[in-house]
Structure 1
């Protein structure tokens, strides 16, 4: 009976944090956190933030930083040895022929940094550039054949980094986290770029309204 009560309590807690989540999502969430199988907290874990927002953002940001460490190692001996190079080339791979600003924004980089990196990739022959036939003042860029070949090699290395990072998660774990985070990234990958010229106070007011944090 105690187990039933615990499941009901956790179901109620889950609904508060995931109001659109279904029962199948809750089951994956529950099974991913079985009783008695959590490791003892380390000193580092004990020092983690107490409030939920800070804990959430620390988990996401440090997970991303850890993955980038693996990525930098993976790309070290490839034709595109930096994370920025592969981000820009992957953006071109996904979007096809585009303007530089569109690629830089898709990769969520600063214009000056992205422009410098793109120009370097053009000089190395990984990206080709031509005048936009619809606007002679603009230029269009596209992956060259050597760029596509280099990116394919980097994707193979990136998969190894991804395998290492995700090795302890089940398929259901990954689906659950993706379902939770995907709406967040879809919203803010657009919002952040559209508002990057504003102050954080202005963005906060637009997003949060008059709510005081």
Structure 2
């Protein structure tokens, strides 16, 4: 069958089932259908994740690859771990933020974040000063050394992320961002409020979407 004719037929069928859907929705549906046709071999007796588990497991594994390679790439830059880099980036981008903003923006607890900031301060990468309007508030800024360290580390980080995503096309990357940003938006808005709650409470608050 002519590919154009087949495409029109598939779109017509999809539009009947989903009259309010966009062309982007249709394209994602076709991609998902093609992936489903590729069977995954499951050995008898093995524990296998469901679809949700498989997705989160994959994201988690990629995150671990990122952490391992980034920590190696940062050797010799003046930074020891990705969290330190993230904090310097936050201070640079937010223009003299308060300490809690830096810590919570990097999804860290207060004690761990404070310790990391302390190490950065000891190395002369950041300065802490009292807010002019509210003496109780401590603000942070990069030193000249911190700015130079950030630039050096950034070049290494760019190499890591380029290496990790080299097998994806630019369209693939844009699609991944589009699909995963809603997850980031949902939990970025609530994670700090839920840190001191039990998982049962957290699940109850979020299960409305399940």
Q: TM bucket by the smaller chain?
A: 0.7 to 0.9
Gaps of at least 5 residues in structure 2 are none
In structure 2, how many angstroms separate the alpha carbons of the residues matched to 1:186 and 1:20? 24
Question: 1:8 is matched with which residue?
Answer: 10
Give the alignment of 1:104-115 within 5 angstroms: 104-115=103-114
In structure 1, how many angstroms separate the alpha carbons of the residues matched to 2:132 and 2:21? 48
**Cα pair 1:127 1:147 within 8 Å, conserved:** yes
In structure 2, how many angstroms separate the alpha carbons of the residues matched to 1:167 and 1:26? 26
Q: Deviations over 1:163-207 (max 9, x none)?
A: 100000000000111000112112212211222121111111112
Give the alignment of 1:24-43 within 5 angstroms: 24=24, 26-27=26-27, 30=30
* Larger Rg, first or second structure (1 or 2): 2
Q: Does 1:149 align with 2:148?
A: yes
Q: Does 1:126 align with 2:117?
A: no
The aligned length equals: 201
Question: 1:95 is matched with which residue?
Answer: 94
Gaps of at least 5 residues in structure 1 are none
**Cα pair 1:25 1:176 within 8 Å, conserved:** no
In structure 2, how many angstroms separate the alpha carbons of the residues matched to 1:140 and 1:106? 15
The Cα shift of 1:20 comes to 8.6
**Cα pair 1:29 1:176 within 8 Å, conserved:** no
In structure 2, how many angstroms separate the alpha carbons of the residues matched to 1:42 and 1:76? 40
Question: 1:75 is matched with which residue?
Answer: 74
Q: CA RMSD in A?
A: 3.4
TM-score, normalised to structure 2, is 0.81
The Cα shift of 1:32 comes to 9.5
**Structure of greater relative contact order (alpha carbons < 8 Å, 6+ residues apart):** 1
| Aligned partner of residue 188 in structure 2, secondary structure | helix
In structure 2, how many angstroms separate the alpha carbons of the residues matched to 1:104 and 1:20? 41
TM-score, normalised to structure 1, is 0.80
| Aligned partner of residue 76 in structure 1, secondary structure | coil
Distance 1:202-1:157 versus aligned 2 partners, 3 A rule: same
Question: 2:51 is matched with which residue?
Answer: 52
Question: 2:190 is matched with which residue?
Answer: 191
In structure 2, how many angstroms separate the alpha carbons of the residues matched to 1:92 and 1:169? 31
The Cα shift of 1:65 comes to 1.1
